[in-house]
Amino acid sequence: MEFATFADRVAAIDAESADLEIIAHVRELLEDAGDDLAVVARFVQGRVFPAWQSTTLDIGPNTCYEAIARAAGTNVSADDVEERLAEVGEIGEVAAGYDFGGQQGLGAFTAGGTSDALTVREVFETLVDLAATSGSGSHDTKVDLLFGLFNRCESAEARYLARLVLSEMRIGVGEGAVRDAISEAFDVPGERVERALQVSNDYGQVARVARDDGLEGLDAMDLEVGRPVQAMLAQAGTVTDALEEWDEAAVEWKYDGARVQLHHDPENGTDAAETRVFSRNMEDVTNALPEVVEFAEHTLEEPAILDGEVVAVDDDGTPLPFQEVLKRFRRKHDVAKAREDVEVRPVFFDCLHAGGDDLLAESLTTRHERLEGLLADDPDQEPESVDGLSLLWRTDDPDEIESIDAKALEGGHEGIMLKDPDSTYSPGRRGKHWRKRKPDVETLDCVVTGAEWGEGRRATFLGTFELSVRADDGGERRSADAAVDSQNLATVGKVATGITDEKLEELTELLEPHLASEDGQEVDLEPEIVFEVGYEEIQTSPTYSSGYALRFPRFQAVRHDKDPRDADSLERLERLREV
Ligand SMILES: Nc1ncnc2c1ncn2[C@@H]1O[C@H](COP(=O)(O)OP(=O)(O)OP(=O)(O)O)[C@@H](O)[C@H]1O
């Protein structure tokens, strides 16, 4: 296809705002693309390479301005181009405004000396060369290559070439429009196109297969070990939502690290790297994470694609904050040194492919069982002792979920994920089948009125703190000498979650001087200390004297700056409940 034809079609799409019309234009474009179908299916989305390839053109705006300036003539500089851009605000408009001479330009002459129209294929091949250019002198080579293209452009071609190379196509063609256009153009069902796109991440290949091999070809497209898949994502949600929607929830710890997708093929028969690690954006991060590669080589005996998280850990294996993982994640140099400073460990929670089987359409429960089978040393091994395996509990009991959440936080993890155990894996989707527990939006400042001595190694610590709010009215609170005692406090719950051992020790020191009475493990405390606590919900409850209970309360901080008279009131609790 001539690039001018492509540019004219794209201009028509650009002028259209109705979705159906846009799809109709894309459909025609794909139908007419001939041998260039794969490239056209990507160009129309503003992509040069398939989404799964980490190849980029890697050109800064200046390279493009220089090439445009040179093609525009001797009296135009890159600064002039930039100035015009500042005036008109869009690079396509700037490029389209110059007279490059179109087919008459210098670059129009091929080796044989004839003048040919610029084709989509030539643009693509030049951009492939450009992406492969690196090292010293590469800037000049890139400018030369781009100049060669602009120099052959008419106005509309220049407009969309500039936008394409600077990743600013913006003609309103999203992934859904291309999917629907492929479906209509080649008469294949949209959901089968969607599936093929999910496994391949390549609109070009899917369009070509749909046209040349039809439905059978599309359905035969599978995951490939070594080619990344878009990660399934989570929505924010509450335990209550999850249990209302599903019979049971799969509960996992939410690790505070960076997402990784591990591709491992021990049977590829070469000495070349058989392990690849990709980031959430499908960038190849293999070289930065040798621990993950070693883990795969040591553990996996079958081809596999695993989904998980890498977490930075200290010498005892305790998770370190997320920022530590970032120091390792995209590191290109001195990886061995970085590894000495911060160690990372992978933990996997999903399995997309195992031993030749694609598992996207299987339930989470089945996928997790396959994962466990892959990672366990022997079939009878307890899941807790399987290295690199994220545990999964299935339950419909909110109290059990609360205790899993408490354990996660105690272990230094971020919290919990709630997943529908029967759900399939939907690449790239932020659906409701995966929920990350919502961070607490509101917090309450509560007076600590009781606690319990712990057990075992925590026997010398106070824990499980009873929380109360003020039951008086605001007026009384303002009066300087209004004492706060148990008469004007109402209990709202107990908090045991979100507190590390070090913190418990500190809190015990703070609270012990205020012990009022003890009965076995239970203690009453004088109302002196205020805790800030988060919660998921406020429910009515006969258990506490306020008539309400905080659902999933979490300790946030001691409010040293507040005394009990400044604590939150029952009235505020009631107002928050109504929100
Ligand atoms: N057990 C787990 N299951 C799924 N994702 C997990 C798990 N533990 C940690 N994660 C991380 O949590 C993220 C889920 O949240 P989301 O899909 O919204 O990604 P995000 O936008 O990166 O969010 P966040 O910033 O909260 O990590 C995953 O991308 C993954 O990196």
- Residue 320 DSSP code: P
Distance in angstroms (rounded) separating the CA atoms of residues 308 and 349: 5
* Residues annotated as catalytic (active site), given as ranges: 254
Atom 31 (ligand 1) nearest CA:
259
Distance in angstroms (rounded) separating the CA atoms of residues 434 and 349: 12
Packing angle between helix 120-132 and helix 3-14, nearest 10 degrees?
Answer: 90
Query: Is the pLDDT reported for residue 113 higher than 50?
Result: no
| 192 annotated as belonging to a binding site for a ligand | no
- HSE-up of residue 183 (Cα within 13 Å, Cβ side): 16
- Write down the pLDDT at residue 479: 47
Distance separating the N- and C-terminal Cα atoms of the chain: 59
CA angle 330–334–337, rounded 5-degree value: 110
Return the exposure string of 7-31: e unless at least 16 CB atoms fall within 10 Å of the residue's CB, then b. bebbbebbebeeeeebbbbbbbbbe
| 382 annotated as belonging to a binding site for a ligand | no
Would you say the CB of residue 417 lies under 6 angstroms from ligand 1?
yes
- Write down the pLDDT at residue 75: 87
Q: Which fold has domain 233-437?
A: D-amino Acid Aminotransferase; Chain A, domain 1 (3.30.470)
Distance in angstroms (rounded) separating the CA atoms of residues 2 and 123: 10
- Write down the pLDDT at residue 264: 96
| 349 annotated as belonging to a binding site for a ligand | yes
Distance in angstroms (rounded) separating the CA atoms of residues 489 and 466: 12
Distance in angstroms (rounded) separating the CA atoms of residues 237 and 144: 52
Neighbours of 191 (CB within 10 A): 10
Atom 2 (ligand 1) nearest CA:
254
Distance in angstroms (rounded) separating the CA atoms of residues 55 and 48: 9
Distance in angstroms (rounded) separating the CA atoms of residues 135 and 244: 57
Mean pLDDT of 20-25: 97
Rounded alpha-carbon distances, angstroms, from residue 568 to 122, 130, 228, 356, 478: 69, 63, 50, 58, 13
Contact assessment for residue 535 and residue 440, using Cβ atoms and an 8 Å cutoff: yes
- Write down the pLDDT at residue 124: 97
Q: Pseudo-torsion of CA 274, 365, 256, 442, nearest 10°?
A: 160
Distance in angstroms (rounded) separating the CA atoms of residues 409 and 415: 6
Contact assessment for residue 398 and residue 243, using Cβ atoms and an 8 Å cutoff: yes
In angstroms, what is the span from residue 551 Cα to ligand 1's centroid?
A: 23
Would you say the CB of residue 252 lies under 6 angstroms from ligand 1?
yes
In angstroms, what is the span from residue 143 Cα to ligand 1's centroid?
A: 40
Distance in angstroms (rounded) separating the CA atoms of residues 151 and 102: 7
Would you say the CB of residue 342 lies under 6 angstroms from ligand 1?
no
- Write down the pLDDT at residue 322: 87
Mean pLDDT of 202-225: 96
In angstroms, what is the span from residue 233 Cα to ligand 1's centroid?
A: 7
Would you say the CB of residue 254 lies under 6 angstroms from ligand 1?
yes
**534 phi, psi to nearest 5 deg:** -95, 170
What is the chain's mean pLDDT, rounded? 90
Would you say the CB of residue 307 lies under 6 angstroms from ligand 1?
no
Q: Which CATH architecture has domain 47-165?
A: Orthogonal Bundle (1.10)
Atom 19 (ligand 1) nearest CA:
233
> What are the residue ranges spanned by the domains of the chain?
47-165, 233-437, 443-578
Q: What confidence tens digit (pLDDT) does each residue in 418-464 have?
A: 999 999 999 988 889 999 986 666 899 999 999 999 988 889 999 89
Distance in angstroms (rounded) separating the CA atoms of residues 53 and 202: 9
Q: What confidence tens digit (pLDDT) does each residue in 392-422 have?
A: 999 999 889 988 988 888 888 888 999 999 9
Which ranges constitute the DSSP H helices of 89-153? Answer: 91-97, 120-132, 138-150
Atom 5 (ligand 1) nearest CA:
254
Neighbours of 464 (CB within 10 A): 16
Distance in angstroms (rounded) separating the CA atoms of residues 467 and 285: 47
> What size, in residues, is the chain?
579
Would you say the CB of residue 192 lies under 6 angstroms from ligand 1?
no
- Write down the pLDDT at residue 114: 46
Would you say the CB of residue 259 lies under 6 angstroms from ligand 1?
yes
Would you say the CB of residue 425 lies under 6 angstroms from ligand 1?
no
Return the exposure string of 79-98: e unless at least 16 CB atoms fall within 10 Å of the residue's CB, then b. ebbbebbeeeeebbebbbeb
Query: The domain 443-578 is classified under which CATH number: 2.40.50.140, 1.10.3720.10, 3.90.10.10, 2.40.50.180?
Result: 2.40.50.140
CA angle 272–276–282, rounded 5-degree value: 140
| 337 annotated as belonging to a binding site for a ligand | no
Distance in angstroms (rounded) separating the CA atoms of residues 575 and 579: 7
- Write down the pLDDT at residue 110: 43
Mutate to test the pocket of ligand 1, among 252, 281, 285, 309 (most ligand atoms within 8 A of CB): 309
Would you say the CB of residue 232 lies under 6 angstroms from ligand 1?
no
Shortest-distance atom of ligand 1 to CA 280: 29
In angstroms, what is the span from residue 232 Cα to ligand 1's centroid?
A: 9
Q: What confidence tens digit (pLDDT) does each residue in 139-177 have?
A: 999 999 999 999 999 999 999 999 999 999 999 999 999
DSSP string, 450-472: EEEE--GGGTTSEEEEEEEEE-S
Neighbours of 407 (CB within 10 A): 14
| 252 annotated as belonging to a binding site for a ligand | yes
Q: Which pLDDT band holds residue 478 (cuts at 50, 70, 90)?
A: very low
Shortest-distance atom of ligand 1 to CA 231: 29
Instruction: List the single range of 30-34, 144-148, 172-176, 363-367 with lowest mean pLDDT.
Output: 172-176
- CB-based contacts of 312: which residues, under 8 Å, 6+ apart? 257, 319, 320, 321, 322, 324, 325, 327, 328, 342, 343, 344
In angstroms, what is the span from residue 436 Cα to ligand 1's centroid?
A: 7
- Residue 389 DSSP code: B
Tokens of 382: 């307890």
